[in-house]
Amino acid sequence: MQYNVYFIVSLPVNMNTLALSTLIFAVFMLAGGYLGYVQARSKASLIAGSAFAALLALATFLIASEDKSTSHYGVILATILSVVNLVFGLMRYFKTRKVMPAGIIAIMSFSLLILCVLELTR
C-alpha cells in the first residue's frame, strides 16, 4: 500500500507502509522525549527522544527514496534503531515493571522491527 504525503515544502513523497510506520514512530519518540522533559524535567529524555526521532525521520526519507540502494540503507537504519529501542525499552520495563513508557516503546520497536525484517527479506 502506498501513500502520497505532501510535506510543508510541498514536495510529493511516495511513502510505503514501512516509511509511514517509521515516521509515526519518530513522532511518538519526539513526543515521548518532550513529555519526559515536561513531567520529570529530564533533559536526557528530551535529548534521547529528539535524537532518535531525527534518526528515524532520516530513515523515513531514505526508505521513501526512489533509489533502491538508498531505500535499503533507510531500512537498515530503521532496523538498527528499532533494535536499540527494543533493548532499552525491555531493560527499562524489567527494571521498573511499568508498561508506560518502557513497555510501549518495546512494543512499538518490536512492531517496526518486524516490518523492517519483512522488507529486508523481500
Q: What is the pLDDT of residues 62-110, one digit of tens each?
A: 999 888 889 999 999 999 999 999 999 999 999 999 888 888 999 999 9
Percent of the chain with pLDDT over 70: 88
CATH class of 15-121: mainly alpha
Average pLDDT over residues 34-43: 94
Amino acid at position 81, single letter = L
Between 103 and 53, the higher pLDDT residue: 53
Smallest Cα–Cα separation from 99: which of 86, 89, 112? Answer: 89
Q: How far apart are CA 73 and CA 67, in angstroms?
A: 10
- Take residue 2 and report the three cell numbers written for it: 502506498
pTM (two decimals): 0.84
